[in-house]
Structure 1
Amino acid sequence: MSISIKIQPNTYIDSVSLMALSTRANQLAGVDQAIIAMATEMNKEVMKNVGLFTDEVEQAQTSDLVIAVEADASTDSADLFKEIEHLMTEKKTKSSGQSTEQYTTIETAKKAIPEANLAVISVNGQYAAREARKALTNDLHVMMFSDNVSVQEEIQLKDLAHEKGLLMMGPDCGTAIINNIGLCFANKVRKGSIGIVGASGTGSQEISVRIHEFGEGVSQLIGTGGRDLSEAVGGRMMMDAIDALEADPDTKVIVLISKPPAKAVEEKILTRVRQSTKPVVIWFIGSESRQNEEGIYFEKMSKAAALRAVTLAGIDENSLDVHPLNLPLIDEVRTKLNSEQRYIRGLFTGGTLCDEAMFTAKERFSDVYSNIATDDEHLLHFGDPSRAHTFIDFGADEFTNGKPHPMIDPSNRIARFVEEAADPTVGVILMDFVLGYGSHTDPVGVMVPYMKEAKEKAAAEGRHLEIIGYVLGTDLDKQDINEQVEKLTAIGATYASSSQNAGLLAREFVVKGAERS
């Protein structure tokens, strides 16, 4: 293998485009790994971690674009860079074909399209707050996909948006559905009467998908960014979003989604919710159980939250297939796993899906570890091997700095899957496959060869490897959900019908003897 570096001075490409370009570059013949990124200190650190750091990279300025490639020694680097440049030119050409006009600033775009009312910000984090401030000043709602924005900047932007009666979704906001149009990572769902406010992207996707499956639809899905319910930010966006949905005549039921919020912020949200004239369903993943109050319904799991919302919207639960757990399957898998196979390994592209499975396991087991654990005792750091029951969110910052999100580029998860499948103590590997806008065109298909080989190797060693796959998507998504499910089941994997069921099945499959309820 040889490493080739090319620096393009003063060349800016937004983060979403860079993710897509890096993914395509990694698929070129002869390429072992490729990173196309701006030369920020954070991205340089990522290149160090993966062995793509050189003196050229060290000297590059923040405004420079770095193309770093490790390829077969027989691959001509000049030809390789030509192929990558072709990908970049092709991307620009396609983008140009979508519109007769391109604008270099928010101000000129707003002047040319005065009816525009929302800007999506997807630039390097150090510039994102500046661009968001311009958008808000021009009376545009903002969805900020960019991360690495300071807490202080986030607070200032959200205060400005509040003063102007605008939404400031983000930073690090990956999912929204506004007026039935999905933004960034989102699924295609029908228009309906349920409004969602989500401080977690895949959690919001999961709820929207279950609502669609149960026959209702989404009026608006407003993202807040993952830090919104921290003590510092204080739920600023969630409070404004609740106000917006309260005033929206098309919204009949409101659903709130978050990982455990700061206690003071949770009470602040509840005080606001108690004043609502509309029923509110709350799914704060991993929070302590609470009793329902008048017009407020607390749910511990995703499918239960979606089911509560659709019944409040008027759908008869008795008319629905709610997909109860397959108890005979649980008994069958338990008999296939040997006594050594006690552990679950969850490998996720969606952080909230990882959280739900992890908290489900923690209800049964004390030895549950994760890179998104909230306590130091059970926290795994980047590069740490798995321990006991392990759940990894490959969308966490340590995996995505300078590299595409795993919903686009599954290479990090593939490598970890091969490692986990070879562990004789592993009984179940649990994975999510997210469909919809922005996601991989064939997320199951790209994993099939590795899943098939892993099951065959395990069988040759005299053990059963149980693979559970959950496909998050709808019949309206551009990827064919039925085809994705068929690819899973064709290689002997178990298909889970929801995030909630996926976590429950994984947990129950590995419960042994006296541990069983």
Structure 2
Amino acid sequence: MATGFIVRKNQYYDSVFLMGVNNRLSQIQGVQQTAVLMASEKNKELLVNFGLHGEEIESAQPNDLIVTVIAETPQIVETVLANLDQALISQEASAPASHLHSLEEGLVEKPFANLAAFSIPGEYVYREAMKALEANLNVFIFSSNVPLEEELKLKQFASEHKLLVMGPDCGTSILGGVGIGFANVVRNGTIGVIGPSGTGLQEFTSQVHNAGYGISHAFGTGSHDLSDEIGGVTTLMALDALETDEQTEVIAIVAKPPGQKTLHHLVARLKNCTRPVVACFLGTPPEDVNTNSGILWARMIDDAVLSAIQVSGKRESTPGIQLTETEHGLARQTRAKWSSEQCYLRGLLAGGTFCHQSQQILLEAGIEVYSNAPLKPQYKLTHPDHSYKHTLIDMGDDAYTLGKPHPMIDGTMRKQRILAESYDPSVAILLLDFILGYNASMDPVGELLDAIVEAKQRMQQHAGDLAVVASICGTQEDPQELDLQAKLLQEAGVILFHSNAKASLFCCELLKPAKEV
């Protein structure tokens, strides 16, 4: 294996453009991995973690371009680096041209705009987002790697001026029926929802739509908003907005566990909300919340959906999420096809919230699960590329998106990992998620289908049957067409569920006899 890199001084490109360049270079035969990125401190740190370092990389500035290559031979590395200029030219030729180059130019063209969306390197977010706030614009920040102190300053300024900062690291919002970032096509309705996570909001809003109900607004707040450092500034402002919104009849909050101080402050505010409130803080211990507060507490996203539509539709309560007798029978049939060696689960998930929720469900069932994003520190993987026993991988983690598209956009990294896991004869279950909607891959199932079929065939040759269990998040109105994507999976022998929680519960059922292995 050979490695190499090049640093281009003062050659700035945005991250979306560089993903296209990276994709072109990675297609060269013999290439194992490429990374094409700007020399931000975060990116340089990630390169060091991958074993790529040198004085030239360490001294590179944020406006410098870094291209790294891991390939089979030094000659291939040289070929890739020599092709950089051609890849840049080709990408420029294929990229849509924009006649707008600044916020000021945008406001001239759209003087009545009230929202600015940012997807730029994290080190520039504060400066540019503050310009937007000073221009009386609400802000949606898709960008990540923004220092917490800068996020707090932006949100405090916004709060003082009655503006919203959704983000940083905000994947999804739906405002008045208009999706921003990764969003699904859902009908308008009476249920409002707030959440820091993109996939958590997508799961909630899609399930509400598929149950026949609708969304008034879905406010993404950014992954750090409920930390004690930020204190839920945007969450509280979004709550105020939904509480006074005439269309909204019930408010849901779907999030990973908040910081302790923020949780208690938020619960106090929720108790006084004039609208019914459903709260789902995934994995938060019951003793950390007051279950007699009048708030409807939900353990999983599916439970939050059920509670919200029961309140909105004035329906009687229904049992929480559980497997049917048919599904229990399917689990028994599936286990019967395994060899004596097969006993482990491997989950390769595009959604960070799905990785979190699946771990929660497995741990609550008494199944120890390791991860690159573990719920408990003792279950941290030594290396994200090396699975151990039961393993769930957040494929959207920085380690996998370094200079590459998120797995919701491009399934290449997951495809490679699916095939790698199929060489382990102890693997019994492969857990996947497929997320539809705007800005996601137009054929998420098609990208992985060949790898799924090949993995199942390889396992059958050397062990027993590989149980591929998947969840799909989306609606029939999404560009990818929910029914079509589901049909492709089922025809390939995938055991399919329309929620991550249900798929995870099914995995628990499959693993029951093997829990002590």
TM-score, structure 1 normalization:
0.90
2:11 aligned partner, one-letter code: T
Deviations along 1:88-130, one digit per CA (max 9) or x if unpaired, are 3321xx243xxxx41x332342244221111111111111111
Show the 5 A alignment for 1:111-510: 111-289=108-286, 292-293=291-292, 295-314=294-313, 316=315, 325=324, 326-383=327-384, 385-510=386-511
Does the 8 A contact of 1:421 with 1:454 survive in 2? yes
CA shift, 1:59, in A, is 5.8
CA shift, 1:336, in A, is 2.0
Does the 8 A contact of 2:359 with 2:375 survive in 1? no
Show the 5 A alignment for 1:3-82: 8-23=8-23, 25-27=25-27, 32-48=32-48, 50=50, 57=57, 60-69=60-69, 73=75, 77=80, 81-82=85-86
Tell me the SS of whatever aligns to 2:237: helix
Deviations along 1:370-410, one digit per CA (max 9) or x if unpaired, are 12223321122444622222111111223223332121233
Question: Which moves more between the two structures, 46-55 or 292-301?
Answer: 46-55
CA shift in 2, pair 1:329/1:265, >3 Å: same
What is the CA–CA distance in structure 1 between the aligned matches of 2:484 and 2:17, rounded to whole Å? 27
CA shift, 1:31, in A, is 5.1
Deviations along 1:430-482, one digit per CA (max 9) or x if unpaired, are 01111112212222111112111111111112411101121211111111222
Identity %: 38
Does the 8 A contact of 2:436 with 2:478 survive in 1? yes
CA shift, 1:291, in A, is 6.7
Tell me the SS of whatever aligns to 2:336: helix
Deviations along 1:154-175, one digit per CA (max 9) or x if unpaired, are 1111110100001011111111
Does the 8 A contact of 2:24 with 2:87 survive in 1? no
CA shift in 2, pair 1:288/1:55, >3 Å: closer
What is the CA–CA distance in structure 2 between the aligned matches of 1:362 and 1:256, rounded to whole Å? 23
What is the CA–CA distance in structure 1 between the aligned matches of 2:481 and 2:28, rounded to whole Å? 25
CA shift in 2, pair 1:95/1:280, >3 Å: farther
Question: Which moves more between the two structures, 467-476 or 238-247?
Answer: 467-476
CA shift, 1:227, in A, is 1.2
What is the CA–CA distance in structure 1 between the aligned matches of 2:88 and 2:11, rounded to whole Å? 15
CA shift in 2, pair 1:21/1:215, >3 Å: farther
What is the CA–CA distance in structure 2 between the aligned matches of 1:339 and 1:400, rounded to whole Å? 36
RMSD: 2.8
Question: Which moves more between the two structures, 469-478 or 351-360?
Answer: 469-478
What is the CA–CA distance in structure 2 between the aligned matches of 1:378 and 1:56, rounded to whole Å? 36
Does the 8 A contact of 1:193 with 1:253 survive in 2? yes
What is the CA–CA distance in structure 1 between the aligned matches of 2:369 and 2:175, rounded to whole Å? 37
Question: Which moves more between the two structures, 444-453 or 10-19?
Answer: 10-19
What is the CA–CA distance in structure 1 between the aligned matches of 2:195 and 2:15, rounded to whole Å? 22
What is the CA–CA distance in structure 2 between the aligned matches of 1:315 and 1:19, rounded to whole Å? 47
What is the CA–CA distance in structure 1 between the aligned matches of 2:478 and 2:199, rounded to whole Å? 15
Question: Which moves more between the two structures, 353-362 or 76-85?
Answer: 76-85
1:90 is aligned to 2:80: no
CA shift, 1:356, in A, is 1.0
What is the CA–CA distance in structure 2 between the aligned matches of 1:388 and 1:52, rounded to whole Å? 29
What is the CA–CA distance in structure 2 between the aligned matches of 1:418 and 1:264, rounded to whole Å? 44
What is the CA–CA distance in structure 2 between the aligned matches of 1:498 and 1:317, rounded to whole Å? 22
Tell me the SS of whatever aligns to 1:242: helix
What is the CA–CA distance in structure 2 between the aligned matches of 1:52 and 1:293, rounded to whole Å? 53
CA shift, 1:341, in A, is 2.4
- Unaligned stretches of 5+ in structure 1? none
CA shift in 2, pair 1:514/1:501, >3 Å: closer
CA shift in 2, pair 1:7/1:379, >3 Å: closer
1:234 aligned partner, one-letter code: G
Does the 8 A contact of 1:468 with 1:493 survive in 2? yes
CA shift in 2, pair 1:205/1:35, >3 Å: same
Tell me the SS of whatever aligns to 1:341: coil
Tell me the SS of whatever aligns to 1:511: helix
What is the CA–CA distance in structure 2 between the aligned matches of 1:69 and 1:90, rounded to whole Å? 23
1:312 aligned partner, one-letter code: V
- Unaligned stretches of 5+ in structure 2? none
Tell me the SS of whatever aligns to 1:419: helix
Question: Which moves more between the two structures, 224-233 or 21-30?
Answer: 21-30
Deviations along 1:221-269, one digit per CA (max 9) or x if unpaired, are 1111111111121111111110011111111111101111122211111
What is the CA–CA distance in structure 1 between the aligned matches of 2:127 and 2:275, rounded to whole Å? 36
CA shift in 2, pair 1:17/1:257, >3 Å: farther
Question: Which moves more between the two structures, 324-333 or 235-244?
Answer: 324-333
